[in-house]
């Protein structure tokens, strides 16, 4: 048999295999031709990614909330010409250029868009690529916005409003910044003459010799008073969690945790910064309130030290930082070996919401998925194909449509752009490499040196 005939027979065999599944394109010939971004104005801006192919089919994803379009666009040159079905190959090519927090948003958002493409190509929902699902409904925990005045009564009323919407799991923020109207709640005064690096650091000003804020007994008592009021208002049939403590010391975190033990919190979130594994471990071992952390940790390799030290009780990856759906599934499976369940951090658009539903469905030890968009009227309109309503009695249904299960609603996106008119405009300036080592084409006569 001639080589030409052998190749022909091979292509016919591949065609027969593809004919056996429901495909919406020809996967073996699929190539990425473009990547474009549109940034939606929101409580946390959403840089939405669209990856186009030569067969007219596109995949959608997003950079993590409050991230930057450049986090994704810097990888465009790696994607052009690639078959998007080779998700692991592409992911392992680009992941070395990502990092913690928003710096992982480009790699992770691209991973979502690739799986969306693969799911559409084969007519399969994304959870199937993660090993199938453990549940049809995903419990949502609602984040709670702050009242104008931080009092026990006002905070209790705000959380109770979430319960009346049907949520059975609610989180509210309670930090050092909420003690400003409480006399003598903290010890000392802010250090003068410091150069703040960000608005965040201005909010949590360093105090005293430790560089951390030291809580007085009055401050800890005020925390406990607010939490007690919230618990009394919502009752004991509602899961409660708290977040956003500020820059406090390990010792104060332990004191605070012990003071809040009577209120049966589901967790205290990010008490100590995620990179301080030993500090997290000390707090976790000292208090009888579950600890949770990890929304800014990048990749399985980044998670291993935290998990294997048992430094926290519950892990909380944000799959737009942790590496996307498959990487987050690997992280959760590893945590389960250490008896650590998984909650999922999320503050993005409906695109990543759907990705989180697929991922949550595939994680056996899953607890709950965050939602920051309860108060955003335009949020669900950014896509088509979502259930209406998307959340019923505190749960969202796992989609069974191909890919992520939604498509872009261009009219709604255009109406909410951060920069008017910037709706998936061309991005040719990103076609040439911006990362790693690169040399011009030596076959180009202009590059003969």
pTM of full prediction above 0.85 = yes
- Look at residue 204 and tell me whether its pLDDT is greater than 60: no
CA separation for the pair 54, 59 (Å, rounded): 12
Q: Which CATH superfamily is domain 129-184+216-402 in?
A: Enolase-like C-terminal domain (3.20.20.120)
The class (CATH top level) of 22-124+410-446 is: alpha beta
pLDDT in tens, 329-376: 999 999 999 999 999 999 999 999 999 999 999 999 999 999 999 999
* Residues whose CB falls within 8 Å of the CB of residue 430, separated by 6 or more in sequence, listed in order: 35, 73, 74, 76, 77
Q: Would you say residue 205 has pLDDT above 60?
A: no
Lowest mean pLDDT among 24-28, 45-49, 110-114, 282-286: 24-28
Per-residue confidence (pLDDT) for residue 188, from 0 to 100:
80
Domain ranges across the chain: 22-124+410-446, 129-184+216-402
Q: How far lies 26's CA from each of 11, 13, 30, 367, in Å?
A: 12, 13, 6, 38
- Between strands 137-144 and 395-397, the pairing is antiparallel
d(CA 144, CA 406): 26
């Amino acid at each position: 048999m001639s080589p030409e005939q052998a190749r022909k027979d091979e292509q016919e065999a591949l065609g027969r295999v593809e004919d056996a599944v429901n495909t919406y394109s020809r996967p073996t010939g699929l190539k990425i031709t473009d990547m474009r971004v549109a940034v939606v104005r929101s409580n946390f801006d959403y840089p939405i990614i669209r990856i186009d192919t030569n067969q007219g089919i596109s995949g959608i994803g997003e950079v993590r909330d409050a991230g930057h379009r450049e986090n994704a666009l810097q990888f465009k040159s790696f994607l052009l010409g690639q078959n998007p079905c080779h998700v692991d190959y592409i992911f392992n090519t680009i992941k070395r250029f990502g990092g913690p927090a928003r710096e992982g948003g480009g790699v992770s958002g691209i991973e979502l868009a690739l799986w969306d493409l693969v799911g559409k190509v084969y007519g399969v929902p994304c959870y199937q690529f993660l090993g199938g699902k453990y549940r049809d409904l995903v419990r949502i925990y609602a984040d709670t916005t702050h009242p104008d005045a931080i009092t026990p009564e006002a905070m209790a009323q705000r959380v109770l409003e979430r319960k009346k919407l049907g949520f059975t799991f609610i989180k509210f923020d309670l930090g050092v910044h909420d003690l400003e109207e409480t006399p003598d709640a903290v010890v000392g005064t802010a250090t003068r003459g410091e150069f703040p690096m960000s608005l965040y650091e201005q909010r949590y000003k360093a105090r005293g010799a430790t560089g951390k804020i030291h809580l007085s007994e009055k401050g800890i008592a005020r925390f406990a008073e607010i939490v007690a009021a919230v618990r009394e208002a919502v009752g004991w049939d509602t899961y409660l969690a708290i977040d956003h403590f500020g820059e406090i010391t390990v010792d104060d975190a332990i004191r605070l945790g012990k003071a809040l033990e009577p209120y049966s919190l589901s967790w205290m979130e990010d008490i100590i910064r995620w990179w301080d594994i030993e500090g997290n471990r000390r707090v976790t071992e000292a208090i009888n309130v579950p600890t949770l952390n990890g929304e800014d940790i990048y990749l399985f390799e980044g998670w291993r030290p935290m998990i294997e030290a048992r430094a926290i009780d519950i892990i909380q990856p944000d799959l737009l930082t942790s590496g996307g759906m498959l990487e987050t599934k690997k992280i959760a499976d590893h945590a389960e070996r250490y008896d650590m369940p998984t909650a999922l951090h999320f503050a993005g658009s409906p695109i990543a919401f759907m990705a989180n539903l697929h991922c949550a469905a595939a994680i056996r030890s899953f607890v709950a998925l965050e939602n920051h968009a309860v108060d955003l009227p335009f949020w669900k309109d950014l896509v088509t194909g979502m259930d209406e309503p998307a959340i019923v009695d505190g749960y969202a249904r796992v989609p069974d449509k191909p890919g992520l299960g939604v498509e872009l609603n261009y009219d709604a996106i255009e109406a909410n752009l951060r920069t008017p008119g910037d709706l998936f405009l061309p991005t040719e300036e990103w076609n040439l490499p911006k990362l790693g080592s690169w040399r011009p084409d030596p076959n180009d006569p202009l590059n003969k040196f």
